[in-house]
């Protein structure tokens, strides 16, 4: 007995033979027996727990059958103890003479506890006076009854559904009525068919048809690959898998968050200048800034109102999307910043939000010429026979004032329309990067006083372009600059700006 050491057997330490303390000294299992676990109404075993218990019993029984003991002889839920790791450890085997003395036989007497014999094989019940130690085939039958209790969550024994006394049940097990052996009921909805098939084989009336524990182990493993481990190992393995899965989930969610952050930053950067977007994402406030050297571009579509009258709203939106997508592709080639689009108006600036010295007018003007060349080949999908025309206005701001002639009085006046541009973020919901100042107003008036497929530039812009030397301009002459009714810029004052010399931008050399 001291050599019977296995992880699924209760370890035997010795015996005490001195009265009155005659006893066996064995390993203590703090969780009680499998009978206690099955009867506990608060414990509901899941599939892994059930098969882990079954596999522990199979392991222990296989070891006993291969040992010199050859059989257990007393296998039942009360002899399947449960340790602190929720692992089954078999007890109640061996030392039959020590435990039973000369009563080493199966006897059916008046004071016999018949319900304690439910797990005894029928062939052994028929052999009154037979060996208490049992047989290997009898152990397999006992295991089948225990496996049924485990799988069907039985809390009152294997024959709880029969309206029979324990003595009558034992009687039918010994002598089946009408040749049909009495067995616990099977239900395909409550238990897997593979397990039911195994139960039928293990409690077969013919002992020779019962499979050995090695075969039972393989069938359990086929039913559930994880059933070979004890419950704690299963729990640890599950926790490890969960932890690994959690790491994968966290990594996946982190990657998703990073990708979403990049998309958000990209979207925000498309709506606002990058350095401003970075400040807003960092939770910082953005103070308005003043820029002295800026060129502002405006364009709108000639005959847009008439086009809208002849088109559906969906066609208008599709047309504007095609047009502005073309413009957006072009401005990526230049040091400019798209400020906004309102209806058919397209506004671009250079020199903001990052100053570029004296390049602002050159960048905007080159871009405007690129716009016109692209418009000539642009097709309106829902109006393929129509020719698209836009008008463009450009004005450059600076730090000095300008002299203009007031046609009404004939006097020369100094005006401040060439002052600085103030740029800042407006609003918290859908914030917008907006430009304010007389330079913006003047550029809008250049556009409103322009003509179809023409680029109308102010004197200040023309001065910069002429200084660059590569642009071809045509003097338009003196024009009266006034506020347009229904202007998209309500901050513009409702009074005239006087007379200004302006130019048409025709071409750029090289």
pLDDT tens for 330-356 read: 999 999 999 989 889 999 999 988 888
CATH code, residues 285-484+497-508: 3.30.70.1230
d(CA 145, CA 76): 8
Provide the 3-class DSSP secondary structure of residue 334.
coil
* Residue 80 contacts residue 145 (beta carbons within 8 Å): no
Residue 472: predicted pLDDT:
94
Tokens, residue 172: 């039918």
Residue 176: predicted pLDDT:
86
- Identify the weakest region by mean pLDDT among 21-30, 139-148, 480-489: 480-489
Q: Report residue 149 CA to chain centroid gap.
A: 41
d(CA 122, CA 72): 16
> What confidence tens digit (pLDDT) does each residue in 275-299 have?
777 777 777 777 888 888 999 999 9
Read off the DSSP letter of residue 89. Answer: E
pLDDT band at residue 98 using 50, 70 and 90 as cut-offs: low
Residues near 39 by Cβ (< 8 Å), separated by ≥ 6?
155, 156
Please list, residue by residue across 116-152, b when 16 or more beta carbons sit within 10 angstroms of its beta carbon and e when fewer do. ebbbbbbbbbeeeebebbbbbbbbbbbbbbbbbbbbb
d(CA 41, CA 82): 17
């200004």: which residue's tokens? 500
Q: What share of the chain is helix, strand, coil (3-state, %, to 5)?
A: 40, 20, 40
Mean pLDDT value across residues 414-422: 55
17 pLDDT above the threshold of 70: yes
Mean pLDDT value across residues 361-373: 95
Locate the DSSP E strands across 20-149: 23-26, 80-82, 88-90
Largest CA distance in the chain: 142
Locate the DSSP E strands across 427-470: 432-436, 455-458
Residue 107: predicted pLDDT:
59
Report H helices in 289-359: 304-309, 313-331
From first CA to last CA, the distance across the chain in angstroms is: 104
Read off the DSSP letter of residue 472. Answer: E
Tell me the percentage of the chain whose pLDDT exceeds 90: 46
Helix (H) or strand (E) holding 392: strand 390-396
Is this prediction's pTM over 0.75?
no
* Residue 293 contacts residue 460 (beta carbons within 8 Å): no
79 pLDDT above the threshold of 60: yes
> What confidence tens digit (pLDDT) does each residue in 259-268 have?
988 888 787 7
**Cis before 20? omega within 30:** yes
Residue 431: predicted pLDDT:
78
Tokens, residue 125: 């019940």
């596999």: which residue's tokens? 55
* Residue 305 contacts residue 397 (beta carbons within 8 Å): no
Mean pLDDT value across residues 365-389: 93
* Residue 295 contacts residue 397 (beta carbons within 8 Å): yes
d(CA 462, CA 501): 10
* Residue 177 contacts residue 190 (beta carbons within 8 Å): no
Tokens, residue 377: 């080949």
Higher pLDDT, 286 or 485: 286
Residue 319: predicted pLDDT:
95
| Phi, psi values for residue 63, rounded to 5° | -65, -45
Q: For residue 460, give the nearest of 403, 506, 392, 390 by alpha carbon.
A: 403
Higher pLDDT, 205 or 153: 205
Residue 353: predicted pLDDT:
87
Mean pLDDT value across residues 108-127: 84
Tokens, residue 8: 């699924």
Question: Within a 13 Å sphere around the CA of 185, how many CA atoms are in the beta-carbon half?
Answer: 9
Tokens, residue 57: 């019993």
> What confidence tens digit (pLDDT) does each residue in 301-318 have?
999 999 999 999 999 999
| Phi, psi values for residue 71, rounded to 5° | -155, 165
- Identify the weakest region by mean pLDDT among 76-80, 196-200, 260-264, 499-503: 260-264
Q: For residue 196, give the nearest of 183, 181, 213, 209 by alpha carbon.
A: 183
Other CB atoms closer than 10 Å to residue 195's CB: what's the count?
A: 24
What is the chain's mean pLDDT, rounded?
84
Would you tell me the crossing angle of helices 193-202 and 213-223 to the nearest 10 degrees? 170
**Cis before 241? omega within 30:** no
Superfamily designation of domain 12-225: Transferase(Phosphotransferase) domain 1 (1.10.510.10)
Q: For residue 510, give the nearest of 473, 475, 472 by alpha carbon.
A: 472
pLDDT band at residue 41 using 50, 70 and 90 as cut-offs: low
Residue 278: predicted pLDDT:
78
Q: For residue 504, give the nearest of 475, 479, 465, 477 by alpha carbon.
A: 475
- Identify the weakest region by mean pLDDT among 194-203, 240-249, 397-406: 397-406
Residue 406: predicted pLDDT:
42
Mean pLDDT value across residues 139-153: 94
Rg value, the chain, Cα: 48
């Amino acid at each position: 007995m001291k050599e019977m050491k296995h992880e699924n057997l209760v370890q035997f330490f010795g015996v005490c033979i001195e009265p009155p303390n005659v006893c066996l000294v064995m390993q203590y299992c703090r969780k009680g027996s499998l009978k206690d676990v099955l009867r506990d109404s608060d414990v509901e075993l899941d599939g892994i727990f059930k098969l882990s218990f079954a596999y522990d019993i199979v392991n222990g029984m296989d070891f006993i059958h291969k040992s010199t003991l050859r059989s257990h002889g007393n296998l039942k839920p009360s002899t399947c103890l449960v340790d602190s790791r929720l692992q089954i450890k078999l007890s109640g085997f061996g030392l039959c003479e020590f435990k039973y003395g000369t009563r080493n036989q199966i006897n059916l007497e008046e004071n016999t506890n018949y319900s304690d014999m439910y797990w005894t094989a029928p062939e052994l019940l028929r052999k009154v006076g037979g060996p208490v130690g049992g047989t290997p085939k009898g152990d397999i039958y006992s295991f089948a009854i225990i496996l049924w209790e485990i799988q069907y969550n039985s809390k009152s024994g294997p024959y709880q559904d029969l309206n029979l006394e324990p003595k009558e049940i034992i009687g039918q097990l010994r002598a089946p009525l009408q040749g049909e052996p009495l067995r616990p009921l099977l239900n395909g909805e409550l238990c897997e068919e593979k397990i039911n098939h195994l139960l039928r084989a293990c409690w077969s009336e013919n002992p020779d048809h019962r499979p050995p524990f090695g075969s039972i182990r393989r069938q359990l493993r086929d039913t559930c690959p994880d059933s070979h481990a004890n419950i704690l190992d299963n729990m640890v393995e599950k926790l490890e898998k969960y932890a690994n899965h959690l790491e994968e989930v966290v990594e996946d969610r982190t990657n998703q968050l990073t990708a979403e952050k990049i998309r958000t930053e990209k979207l925000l950067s498309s709506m606002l200048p990058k350095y401003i977007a970075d400040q807003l994402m960092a939770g910082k406030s953005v103070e308005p800034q003043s820029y002295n050297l800026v060129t502002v571009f405006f364009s709108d579509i000639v005959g847009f109102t008439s086009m809208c009258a002849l088109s559906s709203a969906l066609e208008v939106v599709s047309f504007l999307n095609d047009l502005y997508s073309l413009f957006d592709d072009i401005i990526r080639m230049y040091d400019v910043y798209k400020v906004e689009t309102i209806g058919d108006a397209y506004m671009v600036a250079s020199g903001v939000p990052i100053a570029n010295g004296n390049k602002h007018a050159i960048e905007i003007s080159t871009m405007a010429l690129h716009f016109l060349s692209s418009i000539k080949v642009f097709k309106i999908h829902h109006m393929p026979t129509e020719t698209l025309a836009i008008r463009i206005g450009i004005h450059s701001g600076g730090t000095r004032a300008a002299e203009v002639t007031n046609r009404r009085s004939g006097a020369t006046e100094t005006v401040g329309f060439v002052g600085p541009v103030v740029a800042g973020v407006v609003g918290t919901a859908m914030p917008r990067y907006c430009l304010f100042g007389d330079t913006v107003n003047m550029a809008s008036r250049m556009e409103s006083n322009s003509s179809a497929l023409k680029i109308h530039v102010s004197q200040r812009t023309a001065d910069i372009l002429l200084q660059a030397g590569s642009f071809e301009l045509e003097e338009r002459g003196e024009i009266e600059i006034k506020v347009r009714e229904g202007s998209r810029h309500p901050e513009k004052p409702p009074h005239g700006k006087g007379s200004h010399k302006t130019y048409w931008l025709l071409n750029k050399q090289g």
